[in-house]
């Protein structure tokens, strides 16, 4: 329950803080391209941090890394209150992104070493997103949103103080990290690259999606409610995926992603986005649980393997945010949705190409 509470709190904090960043940036005078850059610098800092600390997860005491992540996030998420122009917002978001990258790999490894279900633990991630979206939509006051996000990270730190060590994590702290090993990337390149392509498309959409909903008549409350639907469904879906073959989950996730983004193209009013959000809930649940299980179950350096998936997600945030911002500025909202579908299909093509080439796949 303590680990689930941490997963719930930290993801609520991240989502609360992120939901209205595009609208806040727009209100501070940012152009579409600048909104993309703000998302990109957050993703760049997240990518660097995630890569560094995913390697450290196999070598250093897990609780110390969790302490560092949660304490630093407590500070940086509160600092967002003081953003006053696009540049200051970008700088503070970069600091927040670096802090968010410290803890995901070590937290997933800690759960695995306790022999907990990856799918059930992962399900509290989207539940946190749902809670964060709901709270942000109801509050709709930026300084209060950032303050509550900071408090949730502080609560996670306090809960972490009560967590036990495990024998598996104690053994792993003696291993030396090889930060530049190519073995894991070479073995799992198709998983990382396929997920990376899909996430470029997704982040291309999410960096401007609140503005899209507002353009279709939604206020802040309805933006939060519509965003809440996707992760709420993910919570229930992820908990039921442990018995399915990982390859099938990954392929289905890519195809459903493309269908979801296509469904968001012809909208004429904000509540029509519900269909696309339901499809996205299934697609991301399948893709994330399938990929994470495959990586953790088939690699010796489990923390690094899982962390590199998070790194690919973060790296995709950089490119996807820039792509979405530029496409919005020059071609409009519907072109952004079409680009999302295109990148999801590219991710499917990568996985399908590897499967057809005869590479062995797990059957579980």
Tens digit of each residue's pLDDT (9 = 90 or more) over 298-307: 877 766 777 7
Does residue 189 belong to any structural domain of this protein? yes
% the chain with pLDDT above 90: 34
Does residue 127 belong to any structural domain of this protein? yes
Does residue 173 belong to any structural domain of this protein? no
Residue 301 DSSP symbol: S
Does the reported pTM lie above 0.85? no
241 exposure class (CB count in 10 Å sphere: 0-12, 13-18, 19+) = buried
Element (H, E) at 246: helix 246-263
Does residue 361 belong to any structural domain of this protein? no
* Count: domains in the chain: 1
Q: Which two tokens stand for residue 272?
A: 């029509």
Does residue 196 belong to any structural domain of this protein? yes
pLDDT in tens, 155-168: 999 998 887 775 55
Rounded-to-integer distance, Cα 40 and Cα 18, Å = 13
Does residue 168 belong to any structural domain of this protein? no
The confidence band for 57, taking pLDDT boundaries of 50, 70 and 90, is low
120 lies in which domain range? Answer: 2-162+182-356
Does residue 174 belong to any structural domain of this protein? no
Q: Which two tokens stand for residue 48?
A: 């660097």
Rounded-to-integer distance, Cα 13 and Cα 142, Å = 13
Does residue 89 belong to any structural domain of this protein? yes
Q: Which of 303, 197, 210 is nearest to 250 (CA)?
A: 197
CATH (domain of 332): 1.20.1250.20
Residue 163 DSSP symbol: P
């Amino acid at each position: 329950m303590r680990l689930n509470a941490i997963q719930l709190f930290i993801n609520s904090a991240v989502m609360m803080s992120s939901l209205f960043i595009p609208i806040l940036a727009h209100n501070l005078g940012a152009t579409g391209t600048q909104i993309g850059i703000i998302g990109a610098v957050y993703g760049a800092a997240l990518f660097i941090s995630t890569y560094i600390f995913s390697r450290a997860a196999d070598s250093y005491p897990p609780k110390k890394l969790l302490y560092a992540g949660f304490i630093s996030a407590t500070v940086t998420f509160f600092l967002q209150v003081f953003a006053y122009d696009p540049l200051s917002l970008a700088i503070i978001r970069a600091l927040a992104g670096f802090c968010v990258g410290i803890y995901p790999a070590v937290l997933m490894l800690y759960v695995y070493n306790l022999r907990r279900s990856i799918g059930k633990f992962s399900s509290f991630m989207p539940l946190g997103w749902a809670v964060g979206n709901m709270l942000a939509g109801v509050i709709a006051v930026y300084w209060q949103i950032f303050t509550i996000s900071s408090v949730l990270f502080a609560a996670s730190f306090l809960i972490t103080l009560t967590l036990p060590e495990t024998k598996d994590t104690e053994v792993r702290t003696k291993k030396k990290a090889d930060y530049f090993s190519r073995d894991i990337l070479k073995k799992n390149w198709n998983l990382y690259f396929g997920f990376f392509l899909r996430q470029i498309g997704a982040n291309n959409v999410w960096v401007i999606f609140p503005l899209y909903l507002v353009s279709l008549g939604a206020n802040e409350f309805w933006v939060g409610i519509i965003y809440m639907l996707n992760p709420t469904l993910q919570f229930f879906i992820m908990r039921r995926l442990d018995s399915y073959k990982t390859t099938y989950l990954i392929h289905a996730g890519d195809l459903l992603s493309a269908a979801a983004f296509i469904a968001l193209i012809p909208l004429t009013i904000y509540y029509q986005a519900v269909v696309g959000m339901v499809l996205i809930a299934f697609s991301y649940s399948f893709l994330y649980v399938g990929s994470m299980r495959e990586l953790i179950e088939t690699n010796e350096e489990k923390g690094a393997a899982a962390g590199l998936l998070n790194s690919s997600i973060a790296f995709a945030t950089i490119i996807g945010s820039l792509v979405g911002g530029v496409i919005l500025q020059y071609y409009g909202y519907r072109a952004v949705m079409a680009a999302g579908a295109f990148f999801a299909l590219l991710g499917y093509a990568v996985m399908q190409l590897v499967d057809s080439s005869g590479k062995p796949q797990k059957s579980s």
